[in-house]
């Protein structure tokens, strides 16, 4: 995921957190995950909104990697059973 910055006609910057993904036979696409808003409004709450939401995008990426991962436990001491077909 990454922070996308769109410059508005009034000079303000609009922030969105986006995620790229792949669709077979169609190619790569992207979707909006979060819409923090305009930098001018976010400066009231955050000292550096761009740095804050860039870090937020990295955290969301790491969180998604953890959710995607899986673990398998194998007991090497247990005997395998033979199944008849």
Per-residue pLDDT averaged across 7-14, rounded? 95
Q: CB atoms < 10 A from the CB of 78, how many?
A: 7
**pLDDT at res. 56:** 96
pLDDT tens digit string along 25-84? 999 999 999 999 999 999 999 999 999 999 999 999 999 888 887 778 888 888 878 887
Q: What is the pLDDT of residue 69?
A: 74
pLDDT of residue 81: 80
Burial 30-41 (b: 16+ CB within 10 A, else e): eeebbebeebee
pLDDT value at residue 84: 74
């Amino acid at each position: 995921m990454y922070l996308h910055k769109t410059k508005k006609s009034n000079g303000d910057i609009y922030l969105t957190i986006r995620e790229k993904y792949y669709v077979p036979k169609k190619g790569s696409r992207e979707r909006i995950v979060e819409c923090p808003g305009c930098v001018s409004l976010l400066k009231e709450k955050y000292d550096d909104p761009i740095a804050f939401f860039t870090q937020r995008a990295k955290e969301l990426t790491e969180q998604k990697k953890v959710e995607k991962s899986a673990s398998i436990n194998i007991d090497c001491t247990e005997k395998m059973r033979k199944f008849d077909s």
